């Protein structure tokens, strides 16, 4: 009978695995908070540019869910569980709250950008810390940063002052 390991051989160092989980879990938590908030913003945005912002927020929510899934699956693939239950996310997220109810698009966009910025803080911490620890995990958060920065740009373009 063959001895099958439960984690990839490159990740058998428990210190590396624990370190990866330590830096990816806050990323997953902030991303999961953003998923809920982006959908809430999507449902409640109002204004002259409603349709464009409504659809953009829906795509942001989908992107952020994909990013959370990728980061969480990296931890689980290394053999550790991740806790992104609603109560855990609510207790640990660094994402600022979203205003309740209907909001104008400029308010909604500013709030979602603030949430992206807060999430990028945990993402950049993970990028910095994972550099020496695990290059494959660092690559995961680098891709998340690229995606969040692109979504931020798309949102910001709706509220930025035009160039003179």
State which CATH number among 1.10.940.10, 3.20.19.10, 3.40.50.720, 1.20.1260.10 fits the domain covering 15-156.
1.20.1260.10
**At residue 5, does pLDDT exceed 90?**
no
Q: How many helices (H) and strands (E) does the chain have?
A: 5, 2
| pLDDT tens track for 95-115 | 999 999 999 999 999 999 999
| pLDDT tens track for 39-53 | 999 999 999 899 999
Pairwise CA distance, residues 127 & 116, whole Å: 16
Break the chain into its structural domains and give their ranges.
Answer: 15-156
3-class secondary-structure state, position 98: coil
Q: How far, in whole angstroms, is CA 156 from its chain's centroid?
A: 18
Cβ distance 147 to 63 under 8 Å?
Answer: yes
**At residue 1, does pLDDT exceed 80?**
no
| pLDDT tens track for 74-97 | 999 999 999 999 999 999 999 999
Question: In 43-156, at which residue ranges do the beta strands (DSSP E only) sit?
Answer: 45-46, 103-104
Q: How many CA atoms lie within 13 A of 157 on its CB side?
A: 9
Q: Could you give phi then psi for residue 25, rounded to 5 degrees? A: -60, -45
């Amino acid at each position: 009978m063959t001895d099958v390991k439960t984690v990839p051989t490159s990740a058998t160092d428990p210190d590396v695995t624990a370190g990866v989980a330590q830096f990816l879990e806050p990323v997953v938590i902030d991303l999961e908070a953003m998923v809920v908030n982006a959908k809430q913003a999507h449902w409640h945005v109002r204004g002259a540019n409603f349709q464009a912002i409504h659809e953009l927020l829906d795509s942001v929510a989908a992107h952020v869910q994909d990013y959370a899934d990728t980061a969480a699956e990296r931890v689980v693939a290394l053999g550790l569980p991740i806790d992104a239950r609603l109560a855990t996310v609510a207790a640990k997220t660094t994402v600022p709250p979203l205003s309740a109810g209907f909001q104008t698009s400029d308010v909604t966009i500013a709030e979602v950008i603030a949430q992206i910025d807060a999430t990028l803080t945990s993402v950049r911490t993970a990028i910095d810390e994972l550099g020496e620890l695990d290059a494959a995990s660092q690559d995961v958060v680098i891709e998340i940063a690229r995606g969040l920065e692109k979504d931020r740009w798309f949102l910001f373009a709706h509220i930025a002052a035009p160039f003179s």
